Structure 1
Amino acid sequence: MTVPSFGGILLDRPRVMAIVNVTPDSFSDGGERLDPAQALSDGLRFVSEGADLVDVGGESTRPGSRPVSVEEELQRVLPVVEGLARRGIAVSIDTRRAEVARACLDAGARIVNDVAALRDDPALLPLVVQRGAPVVLMHRRGRSEDKYEGPAYRDVVEDVRDFLMARAEAAEAAGVAHDRIAFDPGIGFGKSVEENLALIEGSGRLAAAGYPVLVGSSRKGFIGRLTGIAEPRRRDPASVWLAVEAARQGASLLRVHDVAGTRQALAVWAAMR
């Protein structure tokens, strides 16, 4: 049986994607890595702790955040992407913009991780097709500026699945290969506590559509509402537990802040299986 892969990474076990936000205003680590040297150092540390790939982003998507210019986004992310890729590290670029994605793919990024599922910039889909780049399609209700407000869900797992299937069909119709698409249910993007938990539990239902599933619940606000912990950086224990649960349910990629803790927990889970 052939083991599936995504972005050159075998999905023979749940893979850990480390978060490197090069922003002043991300909800958890904003301002920590505005110095590209610090962002690069942290990315290398995450790899040493067991990250399989590093996700670099230069625009905050926290509710209420405002878009940044293409120039500012590129200034933030490009040195980090170049530095990591030059060392042979698998890098995904977390962006909604074709111009940013193009420069980062040129610099060695392997994957485009788009919170807008190729809807915000009409030039991004043709670029992904042209470059043959793997792409993560994320479900997002509304936009950050309006705090992801939108219509109520009927069945959140089925609604998200239907949306992502429609976006995948559009991408494939344009020329993106089936095996270069992954799904992200968009934990925390316009969902209630109960809906976020349902999506994590429903990772297998999403994966049954035939695409790898990426789950990013790390330090999200709904964990704070569940635990009473206001400070995002103190939510790592619950974040690790949710990452393992997502993997247990069928997620292939786990986007996390605490790489070492997640890898330890996954190793124990794998041994117990």
Structure 2
Amino acid sequence: MSKLYIADKIFESRLFLGTSKFNSYELMGEAIAASKTQMVTVSMKRLDPDKPHKDSMMKYVRKPGLQLLPNTSGVRNAKEAVFAAELARSAFETNWIKLEIHPDPTYLLPDPIETYNATVELVQKGFVVLPYTIADPLLCKRLEEAGAACVMPMAAPIGTSKGVSNKDLLRMVVETCNIPVIVDAGLGAPSHAAEVMEMGVDAVLVNTAIARSGNPVEMAKAFSMAVESGRMAYLAELTEQRDIADSGSPLTSYRL
């Protein structure tokens, strides 16, 4: 599978994992290893300075070859996001940040205006910004122009596991952006991951569908295989891709 370039990092795996909702840190660690991922998201809220290192989450995520991606989950605006990012940079010793601003606790939908404003400021402060956003091709292009290292549009509302509810919009994001597109939120099955990879997205980030499954380790393996097969199918040019290209429709992308 072709390599993925984000900022100054190169990734062999195109499956990234969230680290919440697992029944134990041990199980989380086993799932991470089984998935062959090279990047995991971590939250400041889950760090417990009173716990010894051997009992903390960091024992399982601070590994050679594993990029930590702190997130700003829980913040309500750009000001809080910048503050959280600076704390995360100090705590995790990385300038990579997954920018999440969702002031509505019911639906956890990202705030597009505050996300854009925070991206601008964080880029100026030297962060590698990976913003979680709605699948809006115009917004994603603006985030690219603001200096985001990639965009992370949702496939469906976070935690719902409904799969791809906005397929045409995701296609437009892929077509519009010249930075990596990582689908984040809403994927509930390996088949969903394969579907978006076949559309030309560059990677996926999965948490709930793996962590809350009956067997997270085996599910992590299944998602890894699905991501790889979806990417291979995209590179081989599906019949649907060729038909769209032949018709002259803009809803396709051949970014290899």
TM over 0.5: yes
Runs of 4+ in 1 over 6 A off after TM superposition: none
- Equivalent AA in structure 2 for residue 10 of structure 1: I
Instruction: Sort the Cα spacing of 1:186 and 1:16 in 2 relative to 1 into closer, same or farther, 3 A.
Output: farther
**Range that drifts further, 209-218 or 89-98:** 89-98
- Equivalent AA in structure 1 for residue 225 of structure 2: R
- Residue in 2 aligned with 1:7? 7
- Residue in 1 aligned with 2:62? 48
Q: 2:193 aligns with which of 198, 203, 225?
A: 203
Q: 1:92 aligns with which of 87, 93, 97?
A: 97
Q: Per-residue CA shift, 1:68-108, capped at 9, x if unaligned?
A: 24333332232213564xx5x47232324123323333344
| Structure 1: distance between partners of 2:69 and 2:136 | 17
**RMSD of the alignment, in Å?**
4.0
Instruction: Sort the Cα spacing of 1:2 and 1:166 in 2 relative to 1 into closer, same or farther, 3 A.
Output: closer
- Residue in 2 aligned with 1:26? none
| Structure 2: distance between partners of 1:105 and 1:137 | 19
Instruction: Sort the Cα spacing of 1:44 and 1:118 in 2 relative to 1 into closer, same or farther, 3 A.
Output: farther
Indicate if the aligned counterparts of 1:43 and 1:54 stay in contact, CA closer than 8 A.
Answer: no
| Structure 2: distance between partners of 1:124 and 1:2 | 24
In structure 1, the gaps of 5 or more residues are 24-31, 61-66, 188-195, 228-237, 253-273
- Residue in 2 aligned with 1:110? 128
| Structure 1: distance between partners of 2:88 and 2:80 | 14
SS at match of 1:76: helix
Instruction: Sort the Cα spacing of 1:6 and 1:43 in 2 relative to 1 into closer, same or farther, 3 A.
Output: farther
- Equivalent AA in structure 1 for residue 198 of structure 2: A
In structure 2, the gaps of 5 or more residues are 15-36, 102-114, 230-256
- Residue in 2 aligned with 1:249? 226
Indicate if the aligned counterparts of 2:119 and 2:148 stay in contact, CA closer than 8 A.
Answer: no
- Equivalent AA in structure 1 for residue 169 of structure 2: F
Q: Is 1:16 aligned to 2:38, yes or no?
A: yes
| Structure 2: distance between partners of 1:12 and 1:220 | 20
Q: CA deviation at 1:43?
A: 8.6
Q: Per-residue CA shift, 1:215-252, capped at 9, x if unaligned?
A: 3125778x2xx64xxxxxxxxxx333322211111259
| Structure 2: distance between partners of 1:51 and 1:90 | 16
- Equivalent AA in structure 2 for residue 77 of structure 1: A
Superposition map of 1:132-171 within 5 A: 133-141=149-157, 156-157=163-164, 159-169=165-175
Q: Is 1:217 aligned to 2:207, yes or no?
A: yes
| Structure 2: distance between partners of 1:212 and 1:47 | 23
Tell me the percent identity.
11
| Structure 2: distance between partners of 1:80 and 1:9 | 19
Instruction: Sort the Cα spacing of 1:43 and 1:98 in 2 relative to 1 into closer, same or farther, 3 A.
Output: farther
Question: TM-score of the superposition, structure 2-length normalised?
Answer: 0.56
SS at match of 1:166: helix
- Residue in 2 aligned with 1:130? 146
Instruction: Sort the Cα spacing of 1:7 and 1:246 in 2 relative to 1 into closer, same or farther, 3 A.
Output: farther
Q: CA deviation at 1:181?
A: 2.1
Q: CA deviation at 1:115?
A: 4.0
| Structure 1: distance between partners of 2:79 and 2:223 | 36
SS at match of 2:38: strand
Instruction: Sort the Cα spacing of 1:34 and 1:138 in 2 relative to 1 into closer, same or farther, 3 A.
Output: farther
Q: CA deviation at 1:180?
A: 2.5
